């Protein structure tokens, strides 16, 4: 009887950790054909208490095992074995296996026969070129052991995924001319049908194993055809009750550019095959075959709390789910953007490698749609992350980010092309292990995405956040401020950087520091626009300000949909913009009074370091309770997670800022009372500053730890004050928590205010 069976091979260097991170446990499986045998079974390999792997195998393979001098098996001739009509067991004391077992073809075994032996944590086995039988590569999914509805000789559609970087995975040739794996310097590998290797009338056919497709799915792949107008590529499928039928066909020379195709694979499909028509001089190439789910666009969002929500996690280099920090230090986030879980690229074993995260297939739409997501690109050797869409014929990049962007998560809303029917994130790791890339909170929306004004806040420590240069010369983030350098521009060129599209429903205030040096003609301008009006000026200043930071607060009108900064510079001139933050507007300084029992009362934390708490924090230096009632404000983590802030005297320091709303300039002196708590060896200082006549000035300060008890302060504030802020500083790696409670603003009797 002629049978087809598969055999597990785990490559050298594969550890249990590698195995557990893959949707399948193996990179090389060999498909053995034309062995006469009345019994099929399963091969079971146990890797140091990891999940079991069960694969189909032929009893005749026992003789192959014994006869082949495989280095990891030692003296094969000394291995004992037993045979019967119902069962065959091979027991091996070997460094590569803890247990080998062959059982009947009737189904997946509930348990493996034979005894377990101590084995290597590596689980290694090499398969040499034996020349025995008809061998080709086969992918064996975990479903063999986990899905009772699968027959032993069937695999899921996901098992057909292949990048062809090292082999042809599950695909095997059945035509009278063979597809071959090919490679080049610029890419890992691809599948190729070369017409120069075929005679007239021969056909290149390569097939999948028998499939089990229980719901409609999709297959996406890249392809290229060169050499003649008659060269062709066809994809066919078959069901249990029907012969091969066409799902995709294209002919003609496509040039030396990869195209992409996505096809829907119907429920009930039991096989796929690729057919190439390539005469002399013609070549057909196929790469990156990937199975995907089919879904409505509204349902492709994912927070990764349970699974990948239908997103395909890649080929050899797979996106991994993670809770908490990534295993490597100095790279990746400290935890998820929301919830507990996120996905990331583990760069340690895969440097300068591509990781693909591909969405389910969805329908095209003429409606404007956008994708929401959060990403983290923290690490000195950081590579890049791009977002691509699959339209009519190829993957197209429509969003890109590169380089170290610091330890914090960033969130984005990106309009997707109208012809998009699939999306994918492509993460490229850098040259070292400090290049883990993370993604979380993928969501979808309809219409042009707009952001609240608070999203434009930026410290410019690592990058320009959501601000995008649109002038003919670019602003640059410069380690704590935004800089326009006239030496980088030609005459007539303008530095322009814009916010994303905004949704400003009530008047707000944008606060920033700035500095201009070089000549009397250097200038800085802030403009806004509405839905029905062009850009108009909100702020403008010109002339050399010296090496001192000035401050500005700009009222942004309701209905504003965009902001931009413009700098006009000549050679040797510079304009710098410090931390940009956003504040609410209130009618009187009396509105600053807050117990924090209900909310923040308009007090805002620049970049979220100050947070509202009830009871103690995890940090040992935090208050045990509020000063009064239940809630208070405090720096949220021991080391502050703070930002670089342009200070009052031109210096740049590590600071945590809690900013008041903006109020009309006070007509007379007034007071602010508050309770404060400063504890821990990492405490440097806390200050209360007031904004008046375009500058911040210090009105109160304390230095060092003030003990475990709450203390109280009363501070006099001058007429003309428009805004307040508490600024706390701490040692980055030492414990130190600042806290505030019971803020009260009042005017002395008889002041006339």
> Are 530 and 437 in a shared domain?
no
Domain with 205 in it: what CATH number?
A: 2.60.120.200
Domain count, the chain: 4
> Are 596 and 741 in a shared domain?
yes
How much is the pLDDT for 166?
A: 82
Q: What is the dihedral of CA 584, 587, 592, 597, to 10 degrees?
A: -80
- Assess if residue 198 is contained within a domain: yes
Residue 267, domain extent: 157-292
**For the chain, how big is the Rg over CA atoms in Å?**
33
> Are 458 and 484 in a shared domain?
yes
Q: Which two tokens stand for residue 266?
A: 């119907």
Alpha-carbon span 576 to 550, nearest angstrom: 10
Q: Which two tokens stand for residue 59?
A: 């009893």
Residue 239: phi and psi, rounded to 5, are -115, 175
- Assess if residue 99 is contained within a domain: no
- Assess if residue 420 is contained within a domain: yes
> Are 668 and 556 in a shared domain?
no
| CA 735 to centroid of chain Cα atoms | 31
> Are 497 and 419 in a shared domain?
no
How much is the pLDDT for 329?
A: 84
> Are 303 and 288 in a shared domain?
no
> Are 534 and 612 in a shared domain?
no
Phi-psi group of 192: left, alpha or beta (phi > 0 → left; psi -120 to 50 → alpha; rest → beta): beta
> Are 307 and 345 in a shared domain?
yes
How much is the pLDDT for 489?
A: 72
In the block, residue with structure tokens 């806004």: 528
- Assess if residue 430 is contained within a domain: yes
How much is the pLDDT for 570?
A: 86
- Assess if residue 752 is contained within a domain: no
> Are 301 and 433 in a shared domain?
yes
Q: Does residue 196 contact residue 270 with C-beta atoms inside 8 Å? A: no
pLDDT tens across 234-282, in order? Answer: 999 999 889 999 999 999 999 988 999 999 999 999 999 999 998 888 9
Listed residues 428, 446, 464: the one ending a domain: 446
> Are 731 and 683 in a shared domain?
yes
Listed residues 292, 318, 339: the one ending a domain: 292
How much is the pLDDT for 531?
A: 87
Alpha-carbon span 106 to 312, nearest angstrom: 32
- Assess if residue 4 is contained within a domain: no
In the block, residue with structure tokens 């940090």: 619
Q: List, in order, residues 6 or more apart from 223 with CB less than 8 Å away.
A: 233, 250, 254, 258, 259, 260, 261, 284, 285, 286, 287
Q: Does residue 581 contact residue 453 with C-beta atoms inside 8 Å? A: no
> Are 286 and 302 in a shared domain?
no
**Which stretches of the chain drop beneath a pLDDT of 50?**
1-152, 637-653, 753
Could you give the 3-state DSSP secondary structure of residue 73? Answer: helix
- Assess if residue 133 is contained within a domain: no
Listed residues 383, 417, 446: the one ending a domain: 446
pTM of the model as a whole: 0.57
Q: Which two tokens stand for residue 624?
A: 């045990």
Residue 359: phi and psi, rounded to 5, are -75, 165
- Assess if residue 53 is contained within a domain: no
> Are 423 and 500 in a shared domain?
no
Q: Which among 662, 633, 666 is positioned nearest to 506, based on CA atoms?
A: 662
């Amino acid at each position: 009887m002629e049978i087809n069976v598969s055999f597990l091979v785990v490559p050298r260097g594969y550890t249990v950790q590698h195995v557990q991170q893959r949707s399948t446990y193996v990179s090389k499986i060999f498909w053995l054909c034309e062995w006469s045998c009345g019994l099929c079974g399963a091969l079971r390999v146990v890797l140091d208490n990891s999940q079991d792997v069960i694969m189909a195998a032929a009893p005749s393979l026992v003789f192959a095992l014994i006869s082949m001098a495989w280095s990891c098996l030692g003296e094969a001739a000394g291995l004992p074995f037993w045979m019967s009509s119902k069962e065959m067991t091979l027991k091996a004391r070997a460094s590569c296996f803890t247990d080998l077992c062959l059982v009947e073809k009737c189904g997946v075994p509930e348990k493996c026969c034979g005894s377990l032996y101590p084995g290597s944590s590596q689980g290694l086995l090499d398969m040499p070129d034996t020349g025995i039988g008809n061998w080709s590569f086969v992918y064996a999914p975990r479903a063999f052991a986990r899905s009772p509805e699968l027959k032993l000789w069937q695999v899921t559609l996901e098992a057909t995924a292949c990048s062809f970087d090292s082999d042809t995975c599950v695909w095997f040739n059945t035509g009278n001319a063979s597809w071959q794996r090919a490679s080049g310097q610029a890419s890992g590998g691809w599948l190729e049908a070369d017409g120069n290797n075929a005679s007239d009338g021969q056909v290149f056919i390569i097939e999948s194993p028998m499939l089990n497709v229980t719901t409609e799915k999709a297959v996406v792949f890249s392809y290229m055809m060169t050499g003649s107008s008659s060269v062709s590529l066809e994809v066919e499928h078959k069901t249990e009750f029907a012969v091969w039928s066409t799902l995709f066909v294209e002919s003609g020379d496509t040039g030396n550019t990869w195209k992409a195709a996505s096809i829907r694979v119907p429920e009930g499909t039991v096989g796929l095959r690729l057919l190439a028509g390539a005469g002399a001089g013609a070549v057909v190439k196929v790469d990156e075959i990937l199975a995907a789910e089919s879904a409505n666009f509204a349902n492709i969002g994912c927070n990764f709390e349970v699974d990948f929500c239908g997103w395909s996690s890649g080929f050899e280099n797979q996106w991994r789910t993670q809770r908490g920090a990534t295993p490597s230090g100095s790279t990746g986030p400290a935890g998820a953007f929301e919830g507990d879980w996120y996905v990331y690229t583990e760069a340690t074993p895969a440097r300068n490698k591509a990781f693909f995260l591909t969405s389910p297939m969805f329908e095209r739409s003429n409606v404007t749609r956008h994708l929401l997501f959060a990403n983290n690109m923290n690490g000195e050797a950081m590579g890049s992350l791009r977002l691509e869409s699959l339209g009519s014929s190829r993957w197209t990049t429509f969003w890109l980010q590169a380089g170290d962007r610091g330890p914090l998560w960033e969130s984005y809303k990106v309009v997707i092309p109208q012809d998009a029917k699939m999306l994918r994130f492509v993460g490229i790791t850098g040259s070292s292990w400090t290049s883990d890339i993370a993604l979380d909170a993928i969501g979808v929306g309809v219409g042009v995405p707009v952001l609240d004004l608070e999203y434009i806040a930026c410290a410019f420590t690592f990058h320009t956040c959501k601000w995008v240069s649109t002038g003919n010369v670019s602003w640059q983030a410069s380690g704590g401020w935004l800089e326009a350098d006239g030496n980088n521009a030609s005459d007539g060129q303008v530095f322009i950087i814009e916010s994303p599209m905004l949704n400003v429903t009530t008047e707000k205030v944008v606060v920033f520091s700035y500095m201009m040096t070089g000549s009397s003609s250097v200038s800085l301008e802030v403009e806004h626009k509405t839905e029905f009006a062009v850009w108009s000026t909100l702020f403008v200043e010109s002339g050399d300000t010296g090496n001192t930071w000035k401050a500005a607060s700009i009222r942004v009108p309701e209905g504003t949909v965009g902001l931009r900064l413009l700098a006009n510079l000549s050679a040797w001139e510079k304009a710098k913009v410090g931390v940009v933050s956003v504040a609410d507007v209130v009618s009187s300084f009396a509105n600053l009074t807050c117990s924090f029992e209900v909310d923040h009362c308009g007090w805002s934390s620049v970049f979220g370091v100050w947070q509202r708490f009830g009871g103690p924090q995890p940090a040992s230096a935090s208050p045990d309770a509020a000063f009064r009632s239940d809630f208070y404000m405090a720096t949220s983590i021991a080391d502050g997670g703070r930002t670089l802030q342009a200070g009052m005297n031109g210096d740049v320091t590590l600071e945590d800022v809690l900013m008041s709303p903006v109020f009309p300039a006070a007509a007379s002196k007034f007071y602010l009372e508050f309770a404060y708590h400063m504890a821990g060896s990492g405490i440097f200082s806390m200050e209360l500053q007031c904004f008046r006549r375009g500058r911040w000035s210090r009105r109160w300060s304390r230095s060092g730890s003030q003990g475990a008890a709450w203390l109280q302060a009363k501070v006099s504030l001058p007429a003309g004050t428009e805004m307040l802020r508490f600024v706390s500083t701490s040692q980055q790696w030492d414990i130190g928590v600042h806290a505030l409670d019971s803020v009260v603003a009042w005017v002395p009797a008889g002041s006339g205010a």
